[in-house]
Structure 1
Amino acid sequence: MEFHSYPDREMMMLRLAQRISSELGETLRSSGRASLSVPGGTTPGPVFDTLSGAELDWANVAVMLNDERWVSEDSQRSNTRLLRERLLTGRAAAATLVPLYADAPTPEDAIDDLAEGVSAHLPISVLLLGMGADMHTASLFPGADNLEQALRNDAPPLMAMRANAAGEPRITLTAPVLKSALRVHILITGAEKRAALEKAAKLPPLEAPVACILDQAQVHWAE
């Protein structure tokens, strides 16, 4: 783990957006295409705002979420909705959205087709993750029903996940997809999450799921 501390959140968000833009640009120049996976929630919003205006060949960038709540885009709880409003706008509107939601009763009803779409863009060129105070990342929650399977090296790329802390059923990228990413960044803020990160570094992934990716991650933190 490489830890980066910033004097304030505004600088962190700007520098992180610039870093991701640079890494995507490098991948595009070397490979002609790139993939970016990002978290939902409001914390990364300022990163998205800056990144959406980056001068990149967005038409050759595939963007996917780390995870999604099993709700339609008209829900305020939809990560996809946030992604469209904050990242897939401006120059970045030309990017391809790889969906993690389909109009189906449960994640299991659509997961095979969604996984096929994700697999076409692996390995992820640049992965940005968040982390909860409970040390979850993506929708890999401590105590979740399918967590043990999702942490295995032979896990499928996508899995449905249900946990008391998750609210709705979720769909999430699994540990092998996260660990195969070429560049990994974790964005956290505040003293509580910094303490949780330090705790996670000493625990097994079943207790602290973010631990599955820490050894290859660059962590970006501001109070």
Structure 2
Amino acid sequence: MYQPHEYPTRTAMNTALAAAISNNLQQAVAQRAQASLALSGGPAVIELLQILSHTTLPWEKIHITLVDERWVDKEHEDSNERLMRTHLLQNQAKNAHFISLKTIADTPGDSIDEIHTRLQQALPLPIDVLVLGMGEDGHTASLFPHAENLSKGLDMHSNRMVIDMQPLTAPHKRISLTLPVILNSRHLYLQLVGKKQQQVFQQALAGNDTDQMPIRAVLQQQPKIQIYLAQ
């Protein structure tokens, strides 16, 4: 069903993915005078962010947010916002509008309404471009296997834009975009790196249990997702 765009190196993959994202954003600005981009965190995305930061785009018309965030201080080494400010919101992209998923509240659960309103008011919807990653446990965004709130995050009839999450297999409380927001994106990409992630991807395709591997909820309902894979 899925035919990944395969590349021999991470740099080749990230260069191609950055070009696709740039094209999508340019078209969005041309059609609607603004664009929105949601990105995942983690070390695997750093090179993509750096390439995008040097790309000439009408960044002042582009609104950027995160697919998910760890509930840590914005200067914490595990903060996805810190990752974006360090590697993306520089150079050509310094004038982009960034919309944080973090508040001063003690827990993400206390901030759901505030962040929901923030995104509705500041982010052009539906999201024009959204880039997902995938963990070796089959999680995507911060939708983690067997987590207490997972069913709410995967609920396609929910009006929630974000959900709080406490992973069973990873540190930090989280906040994440919900499945309906992710699937409603105009252009959806999944970035995979290495043989292990390729094996996990095949395992996800072979089963139906979304509680065990939440990435399946995306793959089952979004056949148009574009897979970018580096060996």
Q: TM-score range by the shorter chain?
A: over 0.9
TM-score, normalised by the number of residues in structure 2: 0.93
Residue number in structure 2 paired with 1:208: 213
Q: Which moved more, 1:102-111 or 1:175-184?
A: 102-111
Residue 128 of structure 1 corresponds to 131
Deviation at 1:166, TM superposition (A): 2.5
CA distance in 2, matches of 1:13, 1:39: 14
Unaligned stretches of 5+ residues in structure 1: none
- Bigger drift between 120-129 and 137-146 goes to 120-129
Work out the CA distance in 1 between the residues paired with 2:155 and 2:3.
24
Q: Given the two structures, how large is their TM-score scaled by the length of structure 1?
A: 0.97
Name the Cα RMSD after superposition: 1.1
SS of the residue aligned with 1:213? helix
Equivalent-residue separation in structure 1 for 2:227 and 2:51 (angstroms): 19
Structure 1 segment 1-223 matched on structure 2, within 5 A: 1-120=2-121, 121=123, 122-155=125-158, 156-204=160-208, 205-214=210-219, 215-223=223-231
Corresponding letter in the other structure for 1:182: R
CA deviation after TM superposition for structure 1 residue 202, in Å: 2.5
Q: Deviations over 1:65-95 (max 9, x none)?
A: 1100000112111110001001111121111
CA displacement 1:124-151 (0-9 Å, x = unmatched)? 1001010011111000011111001111
Aligned residues: 223
Does the 8 Å CA contact 1:2/1:217 hold for their aligned counterparts?
A: no
Cα distance in 2 for residues equivalent to 1:16 and 1:53: 14
Amino acid at match of 1:166: A
Letter in 2 for 1:212: A
Give secondary structure in 2 for the equivalent of 1:45. Answer: helix
Residue 33 of structure 1 deviates from its aligned partner by 0.7
Q: Sequence identity of aligned pairs in percent?
A: 34
Offset, 1:203? 2.4
Q: Is the 8 A contact 1:140 1:161 kept in 2?
A: yes
Does the CA contact (< 8 Å) of 1:38 and 1:127 recur in 2? yes
Q: CA deviation at 1:118?
A: 1.7
1:206, distance to aligned residue in structure 2 (A): 2.1
Take 1:166 and 1:145, find their aligned partners in 2: how far apart are those partners? Answer: 14
Distance 2:164 2:96 in 1: 26
